[in-house]
Structure 1
Amino acid sequence: MSAASASTLRASDGGAGLPRHVAIIMDGNGRWAKARHLPRVAGHRKGAEAVRATIRAARELGIEVLTLYAFSSENWRRPEEEVSDLKGLLRHYLLGEIEELAANGVRLRVIGEYRRFGPELARLLDDAIERTVGNRAMTLVIALNYGAQDEIVRAARALAEDALAGRIDPAAIDAETLDARLDTRELPPPDLLIRTSGERRLSNFLLWQAAYAELLFVDTLWPDFGREALFAAVADYGRRERRFGGL
């Protein structure tokens, strides 16, 4: 699609229009590599290129928030060599891409217990977050060592501790109170949640936040995703009618 197509998507007044927040479960790196008789790390490297292309396309469209599921809390069960490769790719990405993110006004935010990746990666992430904190063109959220059930448990535990200490009345706890304790606090909920590779499940991703998200499952493997695929997904979203439980 051309830049004019991006303008058309933004200006559309039919259907749902342009999503403020797009969340993506990036799936299929391993299958992409296997189909080409390559090691799994080759799929992850190609997937990193898809990340770059998708971020640029999201900025072009004017999407406010892009959330990418990069490493789940269950991914630690993968072979140690693959986890090490993923950590190395994350380090390479942070060192190589932070300049472009900063120059283009992209704010980086991380959800999940990312300090488990070790002090070096945690420091790089902290530095990148701090460097881009004032940017307003788009917010890029990376989910690292993230699991939605764990996130909800941590939020519930924090509220329980405050209630026991008398800092909050249990009767006053509502959806907004819990939402304010989640990793995604102060962010709009996802309007569109995409999963690549043909799988049709949420895999413990943004379970609370995606309560009213439009879901889109595509057969494209993540390394083959990019600008055209994101534009097509946003166009699909724009044709939908969102009711939020109403008529």
Structure 2
Amino acid sequence: MINDKKVLAIIPARGGSKGVHRKNIRHLAGKPLIAWTIEAAKESKYIDRLILTSEDQEIIDIAKNYECEVPFIRPKELALDKTPGIDPVLHALENIPDYDYVVLLQPTSPLRITDDIDACINMLMETQSPACVSVTEAESSPYWMYSVDEGGLMHPLIKQDQFSVRRQDLPRVFSLNGAVYVADINWLQKNKTFLTKETSAYIMPRDRSYDIDNEEDFSWCEWVFNNNG
């Protein structure tokens, strides 16, 4: 609870995965991938209730073993490759009423720590914004990115009066890292997205901002855990 408002955290984890087979329950540094997110969320000083939404019984069983509540089984039509990511969240909110804020924690961000979760919630409160998401400074600046036409000519994605050759001369730019999403529930149900011009940003360091999408990401995160323990 924060400012007398109740906080619900949701971990979405479906069984299908193309980049890494069964990645949500594959062992990373000695425990299932999903366990890292469950453990970080359970240490939060603001989260009142933590639930999992999944259609996969094996994922559900493992989550329960790590003391994560599973109050319902997600409908299979909300666990397809083409299912928008917001749909399982909205479905969960329909089934779990009487909360003020929701925190979405994707299990593919195992390097995210409890402090990141709580800092993102705090940022939402400090900015008085209806939503806050975690970001990290982009490795490649869009000011140095181009499209290439059929004739092989380059066109800058962002038009500039003068080309900047030094990175320090460019504006800082940030990208979503997928680690933490927080929103006012009434606002989210109305807008059906965490991302609008009203959304604020919590900036995370790059070394905690890896989102596992393929085998290379998985191997890197495992290396980080094994070498920073």
Normalised to the residue count of structure 2, the TM-score between the two structures is: 0.36
Which structure has greater strand proportion?
Answer: 2
Where relative contact order (Cα < 8 A, 6+ residues apart) is larger, the structure is 1
Normalised to the residue count of structure 1, the TM-score between the two structures is: 0.34
